[in-house]
Amino acid sequence: MPTATTYDTRVHAHRGLTHRTRVARPSLQPLCPLCASRENNGAFSDNGCELRSCNHCGLFFVNPYPRSHKRHGELTGGAIEGIGLLDCERRYAGEKLYYQRHFELIEEEIRGAQSFLDVGCGTGHLLEKLSDRCSLRRVGIELNHEVAQFARPKARCEILEVPFEEFTTSERFDVITLINVFSHIPSFDGLFAALNKAIAPGGKVILRTSEMSPRVSRWNQVHWGIPDDLHFLGLDTLSFLCRRYGFEVRRHIRLAYEDELFSRSRWLQMGRSRGLNLIKKLAVRTPGALRALRAAYRAALGKRLFVSLIVLTPVQTTPETQQP
């Protein structure tokens, strides 16, 4: 275990003198924010931030991990160094391209629902795509005030500006979505407590998030987005989450990141970096470029990082299954 040099004050009685003596003591590893284990290893660093991997639950998490009560304001206010916020128009255009790829799978899980809550709804395009369903009650949560204002006329439904962990309602929703939101919420206990309160019996929680193998490399992404993203699931973390918080997996689809990364609509999404945006435009216009890039990536770094669709449902307890 790593050591750190600390100092003890020692009194030498025979001289009546006091001085500081170097004493080597072991330094503690950071606590995993999910399972509280100190058995974790450094994975890599990016954007001046370390990412660590827990040996117990498999979670990848940033170190130092932020205090939850400050996180929402820092993120939505653009106060995190190195993390810029897209303007609403570009963000909306990116959401439209994103749901060109992913709406069909999400829509399958929403069919037949009477109520729907989109946590981290962004500019409201998912809610907008569901606006023709007159029998579906739709509600969104978006913490950035400017983005929430932009979303309301697009989605034409209620958009709340409150952290989901603090969301209180007597209403239970048939479907709750967290699309690319899970990695930003710092408190697992707070998140799953809120889910258990807001989900209807037999309801569905739909996550779109990342999973990573232990072989993941710093180079699997050009820019990881940490510490904007606080954590990523390891390949076995989902089963740990379900056992701990009383959910079961209804559907689990892992898409290799390279298949998502080199899709044409992904490269049409403009991001924060002007340089990367220029590269995207050139690649899209060059015949065969994306196919060649995908093949090269797969050969060097493939099947280490995944974009996953996860559908959870709360475990139904009965008198026979409840603990005394």
Of 218, 185, 225, nearest to 81 (Cα)? 225
Span 150-209, pLDDT tens digits: 999 999 999 999 999 999 889 999 999 999 999 999 999 999 999 999 999 999 999 999
Question: Which whole-number Å values give the CA distances from 20 to 11, 16, 26, 95, in the listed order?
Answer: 9, 14, 18, 59
pLDDT band at 40 (very low <50, low <70, confident <90, very high): very high
What pLDDT was estimated at residue 83?
Answer: 44
Q: How many CB atoms lie within 10 A of CB 41?
A: 10
Distance CA 234, CA 237 (A): 5
Span 257-289, pLDDT tens digits: 999 999 998 888 877 778 888 988 999 999 999
Burial classification of residue 2, based on how many CB atoms lie within 10 Å of its CB (0-12 exposed, 13-18 middle, 19 or more buried): exposed
Of 10, 146, 18, nearest to 91 (Cα)? 146
Q: Of residues 295 and 271, which shows the higher confidence score?
A: 295
Placement of tokens 């060059």 in the chain: 286
Listed in sequence order, the residues at least 6 apart from 91 whose beta carbon sits closer than 8 Å to its beta carbon are 122, 123, 147
What pLDDT was estimated at residue 266?
Answer: 85
Distance CA 227, CA 60 (A): 12
pLDDT band at 222 (very low <50, low <70, confident <90, very high): confident
Of 249, 246, 227, nearest to 236 (Cα)? 249
Burial classification of residue 9, based on how many CB atoms lie within 10 Å of its CB (0-12 exposed, 13-18 middle, 19 or more buried): exposed
2 has pLDDT over 50: no
pLDDT band at 322 (very low <50, low <70, confident <90, very high): very low
pLDDT band at 41 (very low <50, low <70, confident <90, very high): very high
Q: Are 207 and 106 in contact (CB under 8 A)?
A: no
Let me know the angle formed at the C-alpha of 276 by 272 and 278, rounded to the nearest 5 degrees.
Answer: 110
Q: Of residues 279 and 13, which shows the higher confidence score?
A: 279
Q: How many CB atoms lie within 10 A of CB 7?
A: 11
* pLDDT, the chain, mean: 87
- The count of residues in the chain is 324
pTM for the full predicted model: 0.84
What pLDDT was estimated at residue 323?
Answer: 46
**Beta bridge pairs of residue 313:** 248
**Beta bridge pairs of residue 323:** none
20 has pLDDT over 80: no
pLDDT band at 319 (very low <50, low <70, confident <90, very high): very low
Question: Which whole-number Å values give the CA distances from 259 to 86, 179, 311, in the listed order?
Answer: 24, 18, 21
Phi, psi of 123 (to 5 degrees): -85, 5
70 has pLDDT over 60: no
Q: What percent of the chain has pLDDT over 90?
A: 73
What pLDDT was estimated at residue 324?
Answer: 40
The CATH code that applies to domain 40-314 is: 3.40.50.150
Average pLDDT on 17-30 reads 58
54 has pLDDT over 90: yes
218 has pLDDT over 90: yes
What pLDDT was estimated at residue 269?
Answer: 81
Span 229-266, pLDDT tens digits: 999 999 999 999 999 999 999 999 999 999 999 999 88
